[in-house]
């Protein structure tokens, strides 16, 4: 008997503040006005997506000491947009990144519990921890956190938040009685009581938001290090990963799912959802041509120079993007050219990267812009709708992922073509829902309910 087909999970990532988003496209709309978010959400919900995802940034990026002006700049507040979207959607999950460095557990827990109430159980939280003093300058608490404390902060933050989420009785014990005749509103004077002490937090008292429909929001984790994977296996409901290819995806999938048993969790209790970009066309050849055009829109000559500066760690504005790479070597030492950008830290050995790129450029006679287009990611999926549907299904059935978080490159309509052409094909194959079956995001994702009590298995404490 053949194995039953896995159901694919799909999510819609609102286009972000990097060069993936093509703001120069004539179709590009506002990334701030609420109507853009409402339109984006409507497309995703009509296509029966699991959830919509909003990233977060807490300081505008800078390069060479100046605010970076070539990409989309600025975004609204995550919680506020998600709560407003709850008013114009009915089933779509509402996920957002919220930083654990520049917030406190009591406040974040009540915001997520409130969002979960106000959306009827559709809230999800991507827990991230940043640690740079640069972002910290926008916050009264400052922000510097030694790198080795990052996961400790995130884990302890999450442990504290869970204690808060679980502090009110759920289905097994209704803390809210609201008996008008007897005059009893609360079953116990100690509703919401909590106490949490560890290296990062020393808090106690009573939480003031009753247990929400999902009990706890769905928890996402995005880190890729060993500590990050272990954290996810122990504590998260889903991983926002970056391994979208077959081999890398399968390795990552097997590694992380293999860690679950250690925490008494089943393989279905943690979903692996890589981010993915796409370019559709009427034919595969047409899509490839469009993909090339999109890449050139994403990497202008100026953008290519700025990107090269991340590695060279110095001002390269005098270079011609259509000319050859610099012959000088990158500046050694800590990267100081670009701030507020995680990708810069990925170039651990700039000298080696520069050498490799020069070789590549020499071999194919590439200009700076050509080189940057080549070395920065091409789209994950390129092809006619049937080609992309098959690729997505193959990756999921091969256990390279449980689905994808799709990042369109145009705001707000960039998902419409995918929704209109690829989704129906997946539905025909019986691997993607034709309609929502549940009402909460946990139900869409097939995750265990956290509504009741005694559900602390997998807790991080």
Interacting residue with another protein among 138, 225, 317, 461 (CB under 8 A): 138
Q: Are 449 and 215 in contact (CB under 8 A)?
A: yes
Q: How far is the CB of 120 from another protein (least distance, A)?
A: 7
**Burial classification of residue 199, based on how many CB atoms lie within 10 Å of its CB (0-12 exposed, 13-18 middle, 19 or more buried):** exposed
CA atoms of 165 and 116, how far apart (whole Å): 11
Q: How far is the CB of 229 from another protein (least distance, A)?
A: 30
Establish if 117 lies at the interface with another protein (CB under 8 A).
Answer: yes
**β-pair partners for 197:** 202
User: Pairing relation of β-strands 9-13 and 123-128?
Assistant: unpaired
Question: Judged by CB, which is closer to another protein: 2, or 24?
Answer: 24
CA atoms of 322 and 368, how far apart (whole Å): 6
Q: Which stretch binds another protein (CB under 8 A): 73-81, 331-339, 382-390, 428-436?
A: 73-81
Interacting residue with another protein among 20, 97, 101, 111 (CB under 8 A): 111
Interacting residue with another protein among 64, 120, 424, 452 (CB under 8 A): 120
Interacting residue with another protein among 6, 7, 46, 70 (CB under 8 A): 70
Establish if 130 lies at the interface with another protein (CB under 8 A).
Answer: no
Interacting residue with another protein among 42, 58, 246, 248 (CB under 8 A): 58
Establish if 81 lies at the interface with another protein (CB under 8 A).
Answer: yes
Residue 268-307 contact track with another protein, rule CB under 8 A, x = bound: --------------------------------xxxx----
Interacting residue with another protein among 5, 87, 351, 362 (CB under 8 A): 87
Establish if 71 lies at the interface with another protein (CB under 8 A).
Answer: yes
**β-pair partners for 132:** none
Which is it for the CA torsion 320, 325, 331, 334, positive or negative? positive
Q: How far is the CB of 306 from another protein (least distance, A)?
A: 10
Q: How far is the CB of 453 from another protein (least distance, A)?
A: 17
Which residues inside 311-350 make contact with another protein, applying CB under 8 A?
Answer: none
Q: How far is the CB of 83 from another protein (least distance, A)?
A: 4
- Omega of the bond prior to 412 within 30 degrees of 0, cis? yes
Establish if 190 lies at the interface with another protein (CB under 8 A).
Answer: yes
Cβ atoms < 10 Å from Cβ of 148: 9
Interacting residue with another protein among 32, 152, 398, 459 (CB under 8 A): 32
Interacting residue with another protein among 5, 27, 80, 386 (CB under 8 A): 80
Q: Are 309 and 316 in contact (CB under 8 A)?
A: yes
Establish if 210 lies at the interface with another protein (CB under 8 A).
Answer: yes
Residues 6 or more apart whose CB falls under 8 angstroms from that of 278 comprise 379, 380, 381, 382, 388, 406, 408, 418
Q: Helix 416-428 to helix 34-46 angle, to the nearest 10 degrees?
A: 20
Q: Which stretch binds another protein (CB under 8 A): 52-60, 267-275, 329-337, 443-451?
A: 52-60
Interacting residue with another protein among 165, 168, 319, 381 (CB under 8 A): 168
Residues 6 or more apart whose CB falls under 8 angstroms from that of 3 comprise none
CA atoms of 142 and 458, how far apart (whole Å): 31
Q: Are 166 and 216 in contact (CB under 8 A)?
A: yes
Rg (Cα) of the chain, in Å, rounded? 23
Q: How far is the CB of 449 from another protein (least distance, A)?
A: 18
């Amino acid at each position: 008997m053949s194995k039953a087909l896995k159901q694919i999970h799909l999510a819609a990532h609102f286009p972000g503040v990097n060069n993936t988003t093509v703001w120069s496209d004539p179709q590009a709309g506002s990334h701030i006005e609420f109507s853009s978010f409402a339109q984006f959400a409507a497309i995703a919900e009509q296509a029966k997506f699991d959830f919509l995802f909003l990233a977060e940034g807490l300081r505008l990026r800078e390069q060479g000491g100046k605010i970076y002006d070539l990409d989309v700049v600025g975004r609204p507040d995550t919680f506020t947009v998600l709560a407003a979207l709850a008013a114009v959607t009915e089933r779509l999950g509402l996920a957002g990144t919220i930083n654990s460095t520049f917030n406190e557990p009591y406040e974040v827990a009540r915001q997520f519990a409130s969002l979960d109430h106000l959306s009827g159980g559709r809230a999800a939280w991507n827990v991230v921890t940043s640690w740079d003093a640069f972002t910290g300058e926008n916050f009264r608490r400052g922000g510097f956190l030694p790198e080795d404390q990052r996961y400790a902060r995130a884990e302890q933050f999450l442990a504290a938040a869970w204690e808060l989420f679980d502090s009110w009785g759920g289905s097994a014990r209704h803390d809210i009685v609201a008996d008008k005749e007897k005059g009893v509103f609360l079953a116990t004077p100690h509703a919401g009581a909590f106490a949490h002490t560890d290296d990062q937090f020393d808090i106690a008292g009573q939480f003031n938001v009753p247990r929400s429909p999902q009990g706890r929001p769905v928890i996402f984790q995005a880190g890729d290090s060993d500590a990050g994977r272990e954290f996810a296996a122990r504590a998260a409901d889903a991983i926002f990963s970056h391994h979208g290819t077959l081999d890398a995806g399968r390795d990552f999938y097997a590694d992380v799912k293999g860690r679950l048993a250690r925490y008494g969790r089943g393989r279905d209790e943690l979903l692996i959802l890589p981010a993915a970009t796409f370019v559709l066309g009427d034919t595969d050849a047409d899509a490839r041509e469009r993909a090339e055009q999109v890449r050139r829109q994403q990497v202008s000559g100026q953008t290519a120079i700025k990107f090269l500066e991340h590695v060279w760690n110095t001002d390269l504005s005098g270079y011609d993007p259509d000319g050859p790479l610099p012959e000088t070597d990158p500046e050694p030492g800590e990267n100081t050219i670009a701030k507020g950008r995680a990708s810069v830290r990925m170039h651990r050995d700039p000298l080696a990267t520069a050498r490799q790129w020069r070789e590549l450029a020499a071999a194919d006679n590439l200009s700076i812009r050509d080189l940057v287009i080549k070395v920065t990611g091409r789209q994950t999926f390129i092809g006619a709708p049937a080609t992309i549907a098959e690729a997505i299904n193959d990756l999921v059935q091969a256990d390279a992922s449980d689905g994808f978080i799709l990042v369109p490159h145009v705001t707000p309509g960039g998902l419409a073509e995918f929704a209109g052409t690829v989704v129906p094909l997946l539905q025909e194959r019986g691997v993607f829902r034709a309609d929502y079956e549940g009402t909460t995001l946990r139900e869409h994702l097939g995750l265990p309910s956290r509504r009741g009590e005694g559900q602390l298995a997998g807790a991080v404490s």
